[in-house]
Amino acid sequence: MPPRPNSALAPALALLLAACEAEPQAAADTAAPAAATAAERPALGLMTSLPLYWPEGADIAALAQGDAPLPWQRRAIEARYAITPLDTLSPIAGLTPDAPETDPLKGLTRLAVIQPRGLSPADNVALDNWVNAGGRLLMVLDPALTGEYEAPIGDPRRPVEAALIPPVVGRWGIEVGFGVHETEEAYYGSDTLPGGAVVPLAYPGHITLSPDAGRRCVQHGASSVTCRVGQGQVTLIADAALFEHSELAGEGGAGLGAVIAAAFETPAGENAGSGGLGVAPNPENRGKTRVVTGF
């Protein structure tokens, strides 16, 4: 593995920005919809270790009073979706023995898991069942973050620098590794998702598929893939640069919005190729498909 990315990457990121701006932005119109009320925006579950929902280092009092500035990523996402922040994906026991469990995924048809702190075995099971029942998932797993953060290494508030690959990813036939290149420039590039959304890449992971996954997945480049899983769909991106660097996300985060729209709103068929990939999420399917109880 090459040396860990740091602030010396600024020139390379500038070149990457220029390259992404040169790409056609066919999805730009869908990435920047007219402002919608909270009731009009579809719900999006979000689990992440990155400061996407709350600003890094924000004072608890400021958060409680609503005085903390919102991260640019949150503003970009909330232009289209109503975010439900999640700390767990598995059912939560009631406060009393007789109280029912709370399912954090109940009612959600869209979920973004972006550089998570690590999924428990129960989280892996819950996620697999949810996707198979018709959920649409955007999963971002970066083997080497390129952003800079205030919290020191070892601080629990610091984002996970190297993604912990959940076992459920392997169950879906996807493997995420880190490609080693001879030149610094080779660690930068971009993938293009259905509809033309561009994903800038900086020290990305490399995705390989099992033979079975190859029959139900479409790779959009070396670091991104969309797979049909049961009645659901998974879009996996092995790089988080788009969610770390505002200069890569376009004006007002339009590029970030386009990528999210490609994962959740692309009509069936545009993800398909010849294999018919692309399904509409159906929460009514929850519990009607095969249920996994462990890995």
How confident is the model over 56-109, as pLDDT tens digits?
876 666 666 666 789 999 999 999 999 999 999 999 988 888 888 899 999 999
Is 241 part of a structural domain of the chain?
A: yes
Q: Which residue has the tokens 């969309």?
A: 226
Q: Which domain holds residue 275?
A: 27-90+104-285
Is 99 part of a structural domain of the chain?
A: no
Question: Total structural domains in the chain?
Answer: 1
Q: Which is more confident, 152 or 10?
A: 152
Beta strand 224-229 pairing with 198-202? unpaired
Q: pLDDT band for 283, please (50, 70, 90 cuts).
A: very low
Is 16 part of a structural domain of the chain?
A: no
Helix, strand, or coil (residue 219): strand
Average pLDDT, the chain: 82
Has residue 38 got a pLDDT over 90? no
Q: What is the pLDDT of residue 62?
A: 62
Is 7 part of a structural domain of the chain?
A: no
Is 111 part of a structural domain of the chain?
A: yes
Q: What is the pLDDT of residue 294?
A: 58
Is 11 part of a structural domain of the chain?
A: no
Q: Which is more confident, 205 or 180?
A: 205
Q: Which of 166, 273, 262, 161 is CA-nearest to residue 216? A: 273
Is 3 part of a structural domain of the chain?
A: no
Burial 116-147 (b: 16+ CB within 10 A, else e): beebeeebbbbbbbbbbbbbbbbbbbbbbbbb
Kindly report the CATH number assigned to the domain that includes residue 60.
3.40.50
Q: What is the pLDDT of residue 156?
A: 87
Q: pLDDT band for 290, please (50, 70, 90 cuts).
A: very low
Question: What is the side-by-side strand order in the sheet with 110-114?
Answer: 82-85, 43-48, 110-114, 136-140, 232-237, 224-229, 217-221
Is 222 part of a structural domain of the chain?
A: yes
